[in-house]
Chains A and B, each alone.
Chain A
Amino acid sequence: MSPAAAVDPDLAGASTDPPGPSPDLAAAVVRFAGLLRHLGVPVSTAEVLDALAALPGVDILDRAQFRAALAATLVKGTSALATFNAAFQAFFADPAERRQRLQEQRARADAEMHREKTGREAAERDLTFQGRPLDLTAAQKDAYSAMDAPDRARLRDFLERSSTGVKVDATLMPLVQNIVRGHLDRQRRLLQEELEGTRKAVALPLAPTGDPEYDALIASVADRLRDSPEQTLLTLDIGRIPESEQVHAQRLVRQLARRLATRISRRYRRTRRRKHIDLRRTARGSIRYGGAPFRLAYRWRAVRRPRMLLICDVSGSMARYSRFVLEFAYGLARVVSGIESFVFSEDLERVTPFFQQRRDFAETMGDVVRSSVQWGRGTNLSAALRTFMVRHRGVLTPHTVVVIVSDTKTLAAADAAAQLRAIRGHVREVLWLCTLPRAQWDETPTVAMFARWSLMHECNTLGHLDRIMRRHLQPATAAARG
């Protein structure tokens, strides 16, 4: 083609603007942007205005063009594309589908209300002391109704035994009431954790908005996103990944580590940014020009690869989390110089030599678990860090990033925090990958104790792990000559 022949006379193309979108369409786009925000996609007013300005340029009756115009203006990253696509399909569905979705949502809400009502009535009927109902909150009654039948029977049996007897009178009621309340609160927390773990699209804030149509849309988008296996594994609590999905999860960890390694390896090149003149080299170079500083020499920033030191809790349920962190970290081996790894439960063990043989990770982990005396025991971080400071203090350098994987629950936490403070003074950063959900941090005092001397991150999913590593594995720089 001759390019000149194709030149459009109006290169900017905005001279004959068609009229803007109709008020109904504009309202729909604004509402759609609101849905995206509710689903966690940041959409600003400026972007909504862009979308409205874009629509007159495309054929809005052509679904592909309409979708592409909204995607180009409202979405600003690949991470939000899956949510956008699911939201678009749900929001701009045909009327029949929308009506059906609304009906289903209403039916679900009615069923939920009915279940809640009957559950609370059962709690009021069953949980009594000498015929008087206990004073329980609605949440405690809900926890009772959600319990298994044998557990409910046990609780009724306890109340029955506590309220009968020769010396039992009404004065005992507050004591019994407190015991029952405590039990129900614990059940509620367990149920909440269970829900968090099994709810696959945990990245979505699924709290109801009160608008039935909106809630139906959100539920529909969540259903669509659940179909993505990678999304599911990224957002599922590592401790709850089923055995059948373990192989997929390990593969995903390797992919994530590989992607991150490829990205950050570029940043370890020596930077060419020119900031400070190197006077000595400039003066030396100027001799050939009769003393005139004709060519300026600059100092370069040398970029050093970070050193990583892993200290992983392998007591009981923590072992599973630590395994994934170790696999991720060794996937980064080619961009992180020298990974030192330790596992601990009651004391510390160095496991670096196992990983230096460059064998298959699964085999290596098998050897580590078989030979370790720490695997699956109780937790004493204080003893572990003391051992570390006595035997391995030499591996700490100002370029080291220390990564600790633990739920912070340990014996002698105050002493462990003091040890951590000592380590913090020798290294570039201490990252604490805390496997406890953030919602439980306030009620776990050890979290605050360790957070004083480390950067504490919630890390109980592969998505968390990827984000944290990506954020913190930036190269350290130091002035050097080049």
Chain B
Amino acid sequence: MEVADTRERIDAARRSIDAVWRIESARLIAGLARVTRDIGLAEDLAQDALVAALEQWPRDGIPDNPGAWLMAVGRRRAVDQIRRQETLARKQQQLGHDLETRPPVGESAFESVEEDIEDDLLRLVFTSCHPVLSPEARVALSLRVLGGLTTEEIARAFLVPEATVAQRIVRAKKKLARADVGFEVPPPAEFAERLESVLEVLYLVFNEGYSATAGEDWLRPELCHEALRLGRVLTGLLPREPEVHGLLALMEIQASRSRARVGPGGEPVLLLDQNRGRWDWAQIGRGLAALERSRALTDSPGPYALQAEIAACHGRARRPEDTDWAAIARLYGALSRVTTSPVVELNRAVAVSMSDGPEAGLSVLEGVADAESLQGYHLVPAVRGDLLARLGRDGEARAEFEQAAALTRNEREREVLLGRAAGLAGNR
């Protein structure tokens, strides 16, 4: 009985420590990385502090200011570590200087870190999303150091073995150390490219969560929440960047549909068929507000803001027939100019067909269908089939749907496409 009580108490303490970690870890790692100039080392030191907490807190209770406690332990370990490593003599000098000019480690040291923590967090964001790393490595490292997720949680969320994620993180840390990328906010000349890399990471995380299907690990859809949370953090750190607000707007508006986009049998429900009553209108409101902030900052919106504008056109329409297709077609035109992606043109063809009729859509489609990157892409014949069917050219439409069905790798989609083919008069 007593043993069970103790175990329960320790489990409860453990869960509370996880929660503290979740709240404090990014700031802790950022503060430590400022001293060590190495986020790999900073993360290791932060983990040491966590281990110390796991030993002491279940026994002594959680301290009043857990963040300061962790930071004090982490900084002490940093000093020990750096003194031990002669190869880091130069850094020791820096640290020595650092410590002289700062109050001793403890509450007051935390206060001084607190002042600049926003800058440190921003450096941490840019470093963990550094373009020398592959997108997978950036995603894993960022979820670890910015999201406070464990390796196991990341692995479960991405449906890959834990060892794979662990290795990705180790390699990423080594690569950053080898490339000597430092711990800085990028200079103006690199800023745009580096920011793009950060936004890409957030959107990858979001989409991974958004593609989760029913019955999968609950951690997968949680990735959407995590991407949104990090997006909100980033709008606080970079309030003047229109694309940061644009990406947040895009994610909020997309996520607002999660309740409506899966049918009772688990089948995907297309945007125009969704029950809009099940959209999260409060979330759409937050997305539209983020979009407003983005608009106020620039006259030439970037790809995320433009995609958010398109999502907003749907989000503003209480009924599908209220959709402003002409505006959407214009926005796809603008998006096409900044991304030069044939897939965007394909979307524009659909939007044009909705505003100006299937004939007009077909002519946009034919302008792009030969693009190399669209060869073998099932949505080209699927869209063409839809437009031809709307023009009453059933025989041609049927052939397109059949071709699309042969090309898609998604079983459910194939059924839908074959169903549409079968539903047409067979006069070929």
Q: Do A and B come from one complex?
A: no
Q: Which residues of B contact A (CB under 8 A)?
A: none
